[in-house]
Structure formats: C-alpha cells, structure tokens
Amino acid sequence: MRTDGAAETAAPSASASRRSGVLDHPSMTATAQRGGVGGEEGLAAGLVLVGVCSVQLGSALATTLFDDVGPAGAVLARTFFAAAVLLAIWRPTRSSLDRPTVRSIALFGVALAGMNLCFFEALDRLPLGIAVTFEFTGPLAVALLGSRSRADLLWALLAALGILLFVPDIGGDLDPVGVGFALAAAAFWAAYILLSSRVGRGPAGLGGLSLAMVLASIVLLPAGLHDGGGDLIDPALLAVDLGVALLSSVIPYVAELEALRRLRANTFGVLLSLEPAVAALIGSIALSQELDGRQLLAVGLVVCASAGALRSAPGAVAPEA
C-alpha cells in the first residue's frame, strides 16, 4: 500500500503540524526516537497541548479578519509574517540550493500556500471544529496508506464513519463549498507531508522551510491582494495579523520543537490528534459555534482514528512542518 518513499514519512506525516513549522530533520529524528525521561515527558506533553491550543486560537482570531480582508488576505498576511520570523531564524545557504532542492522547496511552498488558503476559505464557511476535522483526513490518510497493519483498517473505518456522520448536514447546516475547500486542504496537507520530509532531509534543512514560506507568500499574493486590497496595510489589522502569525506559527513552533526533544514521534502524533477536538472546543467558546451531538460524535471518531493510526504507525521519526 505504500512506496519506499512514503514508508519513511507515514508516521510523522499524520502528526505533522502544518501551521507551526516543525520540519522533519535528522537532528530531531534521533532525539524523537530516543524519547524523553520521567518528568520531561510530562513537560513535553504539556508543550504539545500548548501548541495545539495556540494553533486553534490563531485560527479563531483569523476569522475576525475575514470581513475586512477576506480569507485570502488573512492567510497572505499570516504567511508573510511567519516567513519573516522563520527567515530571521534560519536561512538556507546558497551552496545548499541545488536544482533538485530548489524544485522540492518550490513544490513545498505551493503545497503550503494551497493548504492554508483552502483551510481559511473553509473556515470562512464552516465551524472551526468541523473544518479541522475534515482537513485532518489528509494526514490520517497518509498514515493509513503507509501502514502494513491490518488492524489499521479499524481506524480507517472509524474515520470514514466520522466523516459520513457529517453527510446529512452538507447543503443544510454545512456549506458544501466549505466542505470542498476543507477536503482540498486535506489533499494539500497530504502532499505537503511527503514534500516536507524531502526538504527537511535535503541540504537546505530547516532553511528550506523558511524559503518555502517566502514562496508561499508570493503564490498567495494575487488572491490576497484581490481580497484584502488596501486594508492589508491598515495598522489595526496588521496588529491582528501579527497576532495570528504568532499564535498559528511562532508559539506552536517553539513549543513543538522543544517537545520533540523529549517525546517519541508517535506519542507526539497521538497528542496532535486532539486538534479537531480542541478546535471544536475553542470554536464553541470563542466563536459561539455549537456542534450538535452527532457532529461531536463525528469529531470524536476522527480523533480516535487518528490517535490509533499514529500510535501504531511504523517507522516514526519526527513530525514535519
């Protein structure tokens, strides 16, 4: 069910935090496989949860920008600020940018742009918890396709059942265009996962992530300028944009990078599987997006499927960006 290239990325990919910027890198791989000791594991688990909550708070904050700059304007500003921060930390050397590396980084940047644009477009039309649940099917699919365990059929069935529970709401409570964007974001996330491993293991390393963020900003320029126009440089909105970038990228990045030094990658992935549930909770509290019992059950099934698939996934190394 998998190619040799997918085999290495199956476990980390589903635990990939696509918004926080954690990249699969050899130095992280060794640490993640050793795992943490004693109280450090508890601290690391707390850091992962801080990152998960921060990402979803950033998404909730981003929705306040949609009326002024639209989803595309919001994601352009967020990606621009994230790129600036990452470039300040890591810059690829010229010698590391050979032709294959540049091609991989370019594809990585396109996947990153498509993933985040589609997610924000979905977020403009769907409750946060439901948008994240649909999007999470991307990394879950990569983990399941990279598995050789028959037991993972159970997790696939659970995830499918969770998604099917949403079907009666599509066209009613759930905007079908929003569902389409969320599923497109899932597909981009799956592509992003496979590309991120290639970039992280390449000569550019973490600098490749910085350059991919810059390229993603360029890709997002036409749609972002069309939606946001002159409002993109409004000082008050820029302050909110910066807050979104900090919550969605910088804070989770720092938290998850430190967690990776203390946790095994599959444990990290199981904790990140809580993301749809946390999104539903934050959507309810911050955005008054109440989900009914069937929708909550659907979210729970996808969370359980993701946690189960990641816990048993073979060859866990480290999550990517």
What is the per-residue pLDDT across 56-85, written as a single tens digit (0 to 9) for each? 999 999 999 999 999 999 999 999 998 888
321 belongs to a structural domain? no
Q: How far apart are the first and last CA of the chain?
A: 24
320 belongs to a structural domain? no
pLDDT at 158 over 80: yes
pLDDT of residue 29: 44
pLDDT at 127 over 90: yes
216-264: per-residue pLDDT in tens? 999 999 999 999 999 999 999 999 999 998 898 878 877 877 787 777 7
* Mean pLDDT, residues 47-60 taken together: 92
Hey, how many other C-beta atoms are within 10 angstroms of the C-beta on 296? Answer: 16
Question: Which residue range forms the structural domain that includes residue 194?
Answer: 4-311
| Structure token pair of residue 157 | 């069935």
317 belongs to a structural domain? no
pTM: 0.83
Say how many residues make up the chain: 321
316 belongs to a structural domain? no
| Structure token pair of residue 235 | 């000082």
228 belongs to a structural domain? yes
pLDDT of residue 200: 64
C-alpha distances in Å from residue 63, one per residue of 67, 95, 208: 8, 41, 29
DSSP code for 22: -
pLDDT at 46 over 60: yes
Residue with tokens 């999550």: 319
199 belongs to a structural domain? yes
165 belongs to a structural domain? yes
Amino acid at site 113: A
Total domains, the chain: 1
318 belongs to a structural domain? no
Give the model's confidence band at 20: pLDDT under 50 very low, under 70 low, under 90 confident, else very high. Answer: very low
